[in-house]
Structure 1
Amino acid sequence: MHHDVQELTKQLLAGDQDAAWDIIDNQIEQGQDSLQIYHSLITEAMRRIGELWEKDEITVADEHLATTTCDFILTRYHFVKKKEFKQTDYPRRKALFLCLEQEQHYIGLKMVALLFEEYGWETRLLGANLPLEYAEKIAEDWEPEVIGLSLTIVYHAERLEQYVKALESLKHQPTIMVGGRLTSAYDFSLYCSTETRILKCLEDIEAFLQETGYGVRENARN
């Protein structure tokens, strides 16, 4: 997998969608599941790209090219995997995902949303930089059971507190999940409630999904 991470990093930075996809496709043929591909390959490649940017070894343009290329292969992977998803006529449980205002990194959040879809949830991915007022509005209208927030910049912690407090106060009382590359390194519990789920890695997401079960509303079967 180490060699594959290096090669994927190279192809993402080159913006070579076909070569990047070939690496993912090879992992599929080897029997790797989505969690393994997301966690051990794509996340690691994007982390390396972030480190290169922090060291000024690549430009902002390079990082943006890598991100859009990664977005493409995730979309293509989802198209392939969707053929395997369970089909149901029952109403599905709903999950909403968004980045805090001024947070631009959404790739990790997209992988989380795709994992939820594999477990049968109906998802909406709102992407980067969503002001709280718009997050509240769509959450009130759509009433998702879960709202996932992404945090990648440490000085946005106080903003996180505002989002958690507002969204947990909604009438339908959604479960708020907080994740991002910082949650494994810092303690954000002071900015959350005792009900907030702080997730440190994609493996925590899968554990949550296994705990809560397939994404069909329980009362839909009655």
Structure 2
Amino acid sequence: MIVQSVNTYRNDYLEQLLSGNRNECSRIAKQYISENPSIKDLYEDVFRGALYQVGVLWETNKISVAKEHLATAITEGILNELYGNLEVLEKQNKKVILTCVENELHQVGIKMVADIFEINGWDTYFLGTGIPVTELVKYIKEENPRVLAISMSIFFNYQTLVRMIDVLKQEFPDLSIILGGQAFLHKKEGDFKKIEDIKYVSDLYELDHYLKTI
């Protein structure tokens, strides 16, 4: 049972992120886990909520890009600290490749997604940022994954995503592709229909449910 409210944890974590206090952020995360041993809840209720707020503060020029990058780096470091806490279910003999849209610089969200796949017993191939679509195509041919997961944090990269998916669909018409990320909070419905045949996952709970159906 969580002694403090989720909102308190999230707000405290956000405050320490903005102060650049990694040790305190780590302590808050570990305290949460001691009260609620669900990595998925921690990621969704604390990390994701705090980082989305950091993104909003950056977009509205209330914090610098340096502070935004620091918040992301701190959280990614804590994900690495907590990796040993993942309780993996029965292995599924399924592969997923995880990457970001070309030109994206933020990989912490897709890293959390990778952990949810691992918890569900998948073999994960986390590529992170900076992978050109030509290299991604080559790697997909090498590994033959069941799913490709793509993250987009900045809506400015939407047309890049559309072009990327066009290439992937031509090369791999039967490959399951899922999308997620903060950028989709600002999506325009008309534009989104251009890639309506792609699965959009709004949060880690939806992802977890989806993985139990495929």
TM-score, normalized by the shorter chain, greater than 0.5: yes
The SS at the match of 1:183 is: helix
Task: Pick the aligned partner of 2:71 from 66, 75, 88.
Answer: 66
* Correspondence for 1:210: 212
How many residue pairs get matched? 207
Question: TM-score under structure 2 normalisation?
Answer: 0.87
1:55 aligns with 2:60: yes
Q: Give 1:171 shift.
A: 4.9
Task: Pick the aligned partner of 2:194 from 169, 191, 196.
Answer: 191
The SS at the match of 2:209 is: helix
Q: Give 1:71 shift.
A: 0.4
Q: Give 1:150 shift.
A: 1.2
Distance across 2 between alignment mates of 1:139 and 1:38: 27
Distance across 2 between alignment mates of 1:105 and 1:45: 15
Distance across 2 between alignment mates of 1:169 and 1:92: 26
1:123 aligns with 2:124: yes
Shifted more, 173-182 versus 112-121: the winner is: 173-182
Task: Pick the aligned partner of 2:26 from 21, 26, 29.
Answer: 21
The SS at the match of 2:104 is: coil
Kept in 1, the 8 Å contact 2:16–2:25? The answer is yes
Distance across 1 between alignment mates of 2:172 and 2:65: 41
Give the unaligned 5+ runs of structure 1.
Answer: 213-222
Distance across 1 between alignment mates of 2:196 and 2:203: 19
Change (3 A) 1:151 1:35: same
User: Where do residues 108-147 of structure 1 align in structure 2 (5 Å cutoff)?
Assistant: 108-147=109-148
Q: Give 1:174 shift.
A: 1.8
Q: Give 1:193 shift.
A: 5.1
How far does the alpha carbon of each residue in 1:79-109 deviate from its partner, in whole angstroms, 9 at most, with x for none? 222xx32465xx7211011111111121111
How far does the alpha carbon of each residue in 1:177-196 deviate from its partner, in whole angstroms, 9 at most, with x for none? 111113244235433252x2
Give the unaligned 5+ runs of structure 2.
Answer: 1-5
How far does the alpha carbon of each residue in 1:27-73 deviate from its partner, in whole angstroms, 9 at most, with x for none? 11112412211111100111121122223232211111111110011
Kept in 2, the 8 Å contact 1:38–1:111? The answer is yes
* Correspondence for 1:220: none
Change (3 A) 1:166 1:201: same
Distance across 1 between alignment mates of 2:63 and 2:172: 46
Q: Report the residue type matching 2:102 in the other structure.
A: E
State the superposition RMSD in angstroms.
2.0
Kept in 2, the 8 Å contact 1:53–1:59? The answer is yes
Kept in 1, the 8 Å contact 2:101–2:151? The answer is yes
Q: Give 1:162 shift.
A: 2.0
